[in-house]
Amino acid sequence: MELFFLGTGAGVPSKGRNVSSVALSMLNERNAIWLFDCGEATQHQILKSPVKLGKINTIFITHMHGDHIFGLPGLLSSRSFQGGESELFIYGPKGIEAFIRQSLELSASRLTYPLTVVELENEGSFQKDDIYIHYAELYHGVKSYGYRLEEADKAGALDAERLKEEGVTPGPLFSRLKKGEQVMLPDGRMIDGKDYIGAPQKGKIVAIFGDTRQTEAELDLAHGADVVVHEATFSGDKKELAHEYWHSTTYEAATLAEKAEAKQLILTHISSRYDKEASKELLLEAREIFPNTEMAYDFSTFIVGGAKEE
């Protein structure tokens, strides 16, 4: 799992940051990409990135503000122009379906693939593939959601080296042993695959938040997450301004990560008043409270449970 940031700015595009969108790439695990928010020019950002439009099969919208949705009609249309045929799912607040359908209808745009739009209410959970998704309402000027993604635990790895040491040749037998089957070896020995499989690998947990003031509702979503992606629109000394505009500061995002016992925090949705140098100061502020914090810039890539890729 990798997080790839297509847009990390707040409100309006700036020279250094486009507006909000982040892709969760699961190409190795599920051959799919999930997109969270789709601000203006997201598809232009995709053209400069390793993200493949045809691999996006699910889009989550956190809320209906323009800097999170204005890129959606164009992206949906381009997916058709590029020959998209597989079904696309969109989850978001009430109103997202009307926005999409009217935009497409008024622009005479026709999709070449099935589109399923699910409007969310308050909070709830559902499962998609082998990922359990919980969503809850945050505290913003409009209905805004945070999403928690819990990946199912994976089977342990097969101890191939031990099998080789015991004279088992790699090949079809390895596949059967990986499934935990009992197999008869050419020399007559019977071995059980369960004896050669390591402990289950814990699934990853990712929490991605829409715009919000500090609120207790975030804690359950972020608890124990491998990575929390959270807005930090303003610096720590702008708490009153952040509250007035229904946003969070660096200190508030870091405090959430600390209270939730998360493993990593990634800051995004940065106000255009902060250039690249000022953004470094925002990062230092957050690290005063939660040391394992990173700053997202457009085209930053992070391995979930790992390090930032340069």
Tokens of 251: 């200190």
* Whole-number Å distance between alpha carbons of 223 and 257: 8
Can you name the residues that pair with 266 across neighbouring β-strands?
A: 229, 294
- Is 220 catalytic? The answer is no
Measured CA distances, 293 to 260, 269, 299 (Å):
14, 15, 17
Half-sphere exposure of 267 (CA within 13 A, CB side): 32
Catalytic residue selected from 67, 211, 226, 298: 67
* Whole-number Å distance between alpha carbons of 66 and 257: 27
Helix (H) or strand (E) holding 303: strand 301-303
User: Which residue type is seen at 159?
Assistant: D
Asked if residues 36 and 72 have their Cβ atoms less than 8 Å apart, the reply is no
Asked if residues 282 and 295 have their Cβ atoms less than 8 Å apart, the reply is yes
Catalytically active residues are 67
